Amino acid sequence: MSEFTLKTRLLAALEGKPVDKVPVCSVTQTGIVELMDEVGAPWPEAHTDPELLAKLAIANYELSGLEAVRVPYCLTVLVEAMGCEINMGTKNRQPSVIGHPYPKSLEGAAIPEDLLQRGRIPAVLEAIKIIREKVGPDVPIIGGMEGPITVASDLVSVKSFMKWSIKKTDLFEQSLDIATEAAIMYANAMVEAGADVISVADPVASPDLMSPASFKQFLQARLQKFSSSVDSVTVLHICGNVNPILNDMADCGFEGLSVEEKVGSPKKAKEVIGDRARFVGNISSPFTLLPGPVDKIKAEAKQALEEGVDVLAPGCGIAPMTPLENIKAMVAARDEYYA
């Protein structure tokens, strides 16, 4: 088999092509406090400064051995540019949405003409260019972002979003359409800047919040439109126990599906997914990677590899207080598995 680079291996794995070994990376957030201290790139400053954004992202690749560089560190970049009010968080807490531009109606709701020049979007795009320059052409860059369902719910508030999904489906669908178009624009801008994979986290699409029937009726078509309109390999991450929607997720057109440990066995999940998408995950971020110990992390990682995971990765965003040695243990487990 030909020699793989980190980039060609990850892309081949996500496209369902044969690889020499399963790649290990994170398609979800990678900023940890230990690395912020190590390289002098703390949150919240590293959310807005392209140099710090890039430095912290590269640090996890260089110091833990994760085989991709993933930016940014939250799910608020696009929605901020769309008019949401953001609390920028602290050194160990991610930014969050605290104000919504259209909680009562969608009057005046539109994608800003200068969307890609607003908020932190220019910083993220610049950071991707800096990363590419520093890591070279053979290391994959993963551009992370909030998915269209979550964007829509942030624009109108989760409360209105839920209510409209039942009582005002015209408004509900309008919010989804605006969000989907904006998400496609931002994703393609990241690809143009140098991202190889777009990883969409869409927590509001979870069965914890939206019914499987709503997913099938309203959400699936928007996710299909997103995946088919973005000029790169794409990964869809949805939080929680997604078993009730896993079959429908596999029809959304994303090359990879990233899921939490709540889904259970990768082997069983892969039986549902078939060859429609690749399984990414699902080492528990809060219950395994954060607390450790190293032996437990290695055992879970090897079990996931045994069950056929296509990309070994945390099941959700890495908790900021996760020790670096615990991330290294996940990488070491993959290496030991193939030794």
pLDDT digits (tens, 9 = 90+) for 48-88: 999 999 999 999 999 999 999 999 999 999 999 999 999 99
Quick one: which of 62, 68, 28 has its CA closest to 280?
28
Q: What are phi and psi of 141, to 5 degrees?
A: -110, 130
Burial class for 101, CB neighbours closer than 10 Å (0-12, 13-18, 19+): middle
Burial class for 37, CB neighbours closer than 10 Å (0-12, 13-18, 19+): exposed
Residues with Cβ within 8 Å of 123's Cβ and at least 6 positions away in sequence, in order, are 47, 48, 49, 50, 53
pLDDT score of 2 more than 70 = no
pLDDT digits (tens, 9 = 90+) for 213-253: 999 999 999 999 999 999 999 999 999 999 999 999 999 99
- Residue 18 lies inside a defined structural domain of this protein: no
pLDDT score of 1 more than 70 = no
Structural domain span for residue 202: 33-256+265-276
Structure tokens at 137: 């052409």
- Residue 142 lies inside a defined structural domain of this protein: yes
β-sheet bridge partners, residue 97: 86
- Residue 114 lies inside a defined structural domain of this protein: yes
- Residue 144 lies inside a defined structural domain of this protein: yes
pLDDT digits (tens, 9 = 90+) for 114-167: 999 999 999 999 999 999 999 999 999 999 999 999 999 999 999 999 999 999
Query: How does strand 69-71 pair with strand 256-259?
Result: unpaired
Residue 165 to residue 156: CA distance in whole angstroms: 12
pLDDT digits (tens, 9 = 90+) for 291-322: 999 999 999 999 999 999 999 999 999 999 99
- Residue 88 lies inside a defined structural domain of this protein: yes
Q: Tokens 């090897």 sit at which residue?
A: 302
Q: What is the CATH number of the domain that holds 237?
A: 3.20.20.210
Residues with Cβ within 8 Å of 298's Cβ and at least 6 positions away in sequence, in order, are 329, 330, 332, 333, 336
- Provide the domain count of the chain: 1
First to last CA, the chain: 17
- Residue 239 lies inside a defined structural domain of this protein: yes
In this structure, which amino acid lies at residue 190?
Answer: M
The model's pTM is 0.97
